[in-house]
Amino acid sequence: MVAGGRGRGAAGKVAVGLAVGVLLLGGCARFDESASSPFTTEPDWQDADVDTPTPKNPPTSGSRPDLPCVDPDPAVVVSCLDTTGGLITLSDGVSALVAERTTGRILKVEATEEGAPPAPIEVAKVDVDPTGDGGLTAITLGPSFYEDGLMYAYITTPSDNRVVRISTEGGGEAKPILTGIPKGPNGNRGSIDFHTPDRMVVLTGDAGDPAAAADNGSLAGKLLSVNSPAPGASPEILLSGIGVAGGVCSDHNENIWLTDRTPTEDRLQRVGPDGVATKAWSWPDHPGVAGCVAASDGVAIALTNQKALAIAEADKGTHAITAAPTLFSQDKYGQLDSAAMGGDGTIWVGTVNKTGGQPNQYDDRVVRIPPPSGGPGNGPD
């Protein structure tokens, strides 16, 4: 994505989304096998035209009724959630699955511009320990999601942090996949994504212990690779020394991007196809890097403390980021945490204002942030 001032560059362009379709019938999750795979080619934000294709039901100036828990802003998908965790957009362009960090619920939500938004539908619920920054902090769809309705989650239990597999068509049953990730008073949040259909990447926090993050004998503070994730999976360490985990996002091609927070700086790092990690950008002012969305030409990052969406443009050949990420929607929705690319080109984010923020009567929320306008002189809103 972009880091300002390129005229009609990444800031003025939008990708066609990657996510997967879901159809909920009679309160049970039924998944559309005709939808495209989540492992299709990653979008290119610099070359995708903001006007083509026409976004389906994009946020506009539609009217909303004056009802409790109905945010008048048409960009808000759903209001009055508990503190949000992971977020997955779906291919119809108007719906998503969102996790509540503290309750362990996974909800299907649907966007609408006019009238009262549909009530969230609970797809699954897992038992979590939400103390500190733990709980249900990440979700992702399984590679065979259409056939078996399986998804994965990063959760905190009373004894550890772990990755579990959830059957959305089997009453929300959760099976442990990767256990024994250290738990601490903080640094418990994690993030997961599939880099390829048979390779999951897992970002773990340091559990409040930087020494454990530097120790390859511990699963704390690591970027892990898990092949063909199943119960009893054995992970490979790709990167050590992670602080408080932000997000991990694959471009589903060559690169894995990740964010974390350390005592000295917040970081955006990239692991290339050669397995070498490089620091792509850092923020000494600690904006609170969180969830991310990757494309072939950059990364979008939710910032919790700075209450904004940061868009960092990367060179398509070298993947280097040479200009400061641009901020969008700053101070508009409060603290942002999770991020996902919508099928209509918008970037969906979840708010975490109920945890250390200044919540209003509509928090917490899921919001669609439209792509910025193209053309010279157009900057952040």
Per-residue pLDDT of 171-222, as tens digits, reads 677 999 999 999 999 999 999 999 999 999 999 999 999 999 999 999 999 9
User: Do 203 and 250 contact (CB within 8 A), yes or no?
Assistant: no
- What are the tokens at 244? 């408080």
Strand-pairing partners, residue 340, are 348
Residue written as tokens 């005592």? 263
Residues with Cβ within 8 Å of 251's Cβ and at least 6 positions away in sequence, in order, are: 42, 257, 294, 295, 296
Q: Are strands 298-303 and 289-295 parallel, antiparallel or unpaired?
A: antiparallel
Kindly report the average pLDDT of the chain as a whole number.
83
Amino acid at 6: R
Nearest to 290 by CA among 272, 264, 310: 310
* Span 282-335, pLDDT tens digits: 999 999 999 999 988 889 999 999 999 999 999 988 999 999 999 999 999 999
* Span 105-157, pLDDT tens digits: 999 999 987 888 899 999 999 999 999 899 999 999 998 877 888 999 999 99
* Span 212-244, pLDDT tens digits: 999 999 999 999 999 988 888 899 999 999 999
Domain regions of the chain by residue span: 10-56+72-369
**DSSP label at 210?**
H
Percent of the chain having pLDDT more than 90? 64
In CATH, the architecture of 10-56+72-369 is 6 Propeller (2.120)
pLDDT of residue 169: 81
pLDDT of residue 342: 87
Strand-pairing partners, residue 176, are 164
d(CA 79, CA 120): 10
d(CA 311, CA 378): 14
DSSP 216-231: TTSSTTEEEEEES--T
Q: pTM for this structure?
A: 0.85
